[in-house]
Each structure stands twice: as C-alpha cells, then as structure tokens.
Amino acid sequence: MIGRLNHVAIAVPDLAAAARLYRETLGAEVSEPVDMPEHGVTTVFVTLPNTKIELLHPLGKESPIAGFLERNASGGIHHVCYEVDDILAARDRLKASGARVLGNGEPKIGAHGKLVLFLHPKDFCGTLVEIEQA
C-alpha cells in the first residue's frame, strides 16, 4: 500500500543554524523558511535526489512539536512520510487493522499542498508516520 518515502522530518531548535548546516556543511539544496500556521510549524525543505528532508521549528504557542523539542533539546527525527495512492482508502484500511489515526481522522492539507494524515507512533514501531496522497 505505501509507496515512495516522501520525506523525513527533523525537529530543530534553531532553524537558521539547521538550514545552514544542510546548505553549507552537507551541500544540499535548501529552501527559504515557510510558515505553516495551520500546522504550528515553520518548515525548511531540503531537496535530495531521491527524497526530501523537512526541518521543523515550532510556530506559535500550540505547536505540536514544542513538547518533542523539550524532550529532545538538540532536535531529532520527528516523523517519516510515505506516499499512498488513495489516502481515504489507506485510512480505512489502517483503521480496520486497528491502527490509530490522529486528529479527527479527516485528511488535512500538508506541507506540499496534498492531503495528509498522521498515524499513532505506538502502532508503528515508535515512529510517528505521516501518509500523503501521492
């Protein structure tokens, strides 16, 4: 059911420093920061030949990654995102198998303008999983 790895998201305490690290030390193609108020994050996209890295930094008081950064002060891998051909069919199949879909279960528009859902980390080897409509 899952297809390509769309991105790996890394929460970072200092977005400018992380962008510089990827651009200068690692020599990657790095975007300008993009505020995503509806997700409570500011994102920098790192484009690699075969996938993307998303550097995430909290935006606003209710940011869903604030607690993660409190527990992981120097940052860390926050989630992985897999593409699916049909996000509603994927959701229904996952729910039928007992997996917990976060939020109200309805897909939201994600960082790439496509529909996304998040799956509970306790159901996926301790890793927060995002699925994105391909």
Please report, as ranges, the residues that interact with Co ion according to CB under 5 A: 9, 81, 130
Nearest approach in angstroms of CB 81 to Co ion is 5
Nearer to Co ion, 66 or 98 (CB): 66
Nearer to Co ion, 30 or 81 (CB): 81
Question: Could you tell me if 116 and 108 are in contact, meaning their C-beta atoms sit under 8 angstroms apart?
Answer: yes
Q: Which sequence positions are flagged as catalytic?
A: 130
Nearest approach in angstroms of CB 111 to Co ion is 6
Nearer to Co ion, 46 or 81 (CB): 81
CA angle in degrees (0–180, nearest 5) for 38-83-92: 80
Give the span between the Cα atoms of 126 and 49, in whole angstroms.
27
Give the span between the Cα atoms of 4 and 50, in whole angstroms.
9
Q: Which amino acid is at 48?
A: L
Nearest approach in angstroms of CB 80 to Co ion is 8
Look at the chain and count its residues: 134
